[in-house]
Structure 1
Amino acid sequence: MVSSWVLAVIHLLGVCLAFAAIYSRARVLGRPLARIDLPEIFLADSLWGISALVLVLTGLTRAFGGFEKGTLYYGHQPFFHIKMACLVAIFLLEIYPMLTLLRWRIGGRKGDATPNLMLARKLSQISYLQLFLLVPMVLCAAAMARGITLQG
């Protein structure tokens, strides 16, 4: 019982950290950038990566590790499928920002010139779209926690 509660708390804190990190990254990337802004972007991006790892690990443990309602419940729960579809969309959207920011980081370590900051606006828009997709995930999670179903 306590371990289930601890996992739920860690998972919820992961959602909070993900939202804050993605929002921070989107906000900084959306304003006119200079090379001086890169550490702030990289910090937000790193926190987003950490939160994603926490969410995946605690989510898998809660859903399939015998701590919550169990695989059978989640496998037949439409809200779970919607939540997972949003998660997949968020991760697919993350491929471009992740690779771009990784190139920027590597370039900075090698002492290369300022990265192509013209891409920042696009990265910001992708981040805002990811934030938008977090909302139905939270709504689905709350519905499942309350036992609400889409089935008759």
Structure 2
Amino acid sequence: MCAMVSSWVLAVIHLLGVGLAFAAIYSRARFLGKPVKQLDLPEAFLADSLWGISALVLVLTGLTRAFGGFEKGTLYYGHQPFFHIKMACLVLIFLLEIFPMITLLRWRIGRAKGDVTLNLAVAAKLSQISYVQLFLLVPMVLCAAAMARGIMI
């Protein structure tokens, strides 16, 4: 019974992480997609922080669920094509995140130091990257739903 409840709690936290990720990535994309003069960096920073928190929650709960003995097990996931597709999307999302993460970190540091000459011209590019990441979350959810139902391809 305890293992069942633990598995359920992990699944709930994981699903809530997905919802937070969607909201945070969309918000970051929207805030950074505004014209440079209208950029509200504190809102973009908040959305970016929430995206970082959701990514951490998703990775930790996902690894625990997949390899911690709470779900179908390593053997199942290792041979499940939907799992490989899901992980490929995750890797792409994280690779795409490198540029926004570094840029927003520099902006945060610059703002903290009082630098008013931040290069905000790349904000639109960061917004586009965020929308691509948001798009990549969709096949991840589709793959997760397929795996939960035992669908094999």
- Counting matched residue pairs gives 150
Which structure 2 residues correspond to residues 1-150 of structure 1 after superposition, within 5 A? 1-34=4-37, 37-150=40-153
Q: Deviations over 1:58-116 (max 9, x none)?
A: 00000000000000000000000000000000000000000000000000011111411
Give, in whole Å, the separation in 2 of the partners of 1:116 and 1:31. 15
AA aligned opposite 1:135: V
Q: State the TM-score, normalizing by the size of structure 2.
A: 0.96
CA distance 1:69–1:56, change in 2 (3 Å): same
Structure 1 range deviating more: 139-148 or 109-118:
109-118
Structure 1 range deviating more: 45-54 or 26-35:
26-35
TM-superposed CA distance for 1:32, in Å, is 1.2
Q: Which runs of 5+ in 2 are unaligned?
A: none
Give, in whole Å, the separation in 2 of the partners of 1:110 and 1:35. 21
Give, in whole Å, the separation in 1 of the partners of 2:39 and 2:141. 34
Q: Which runs of 5+ in 1 are unaligned?
A: none
AA aligned opposite 1:118: A
CA distance 1:113–1:35, change in 2 (3 Å): farther
CA-based RMSD: 1.0
TM-superposed CA distance for 1:117, in Å, is 1.2
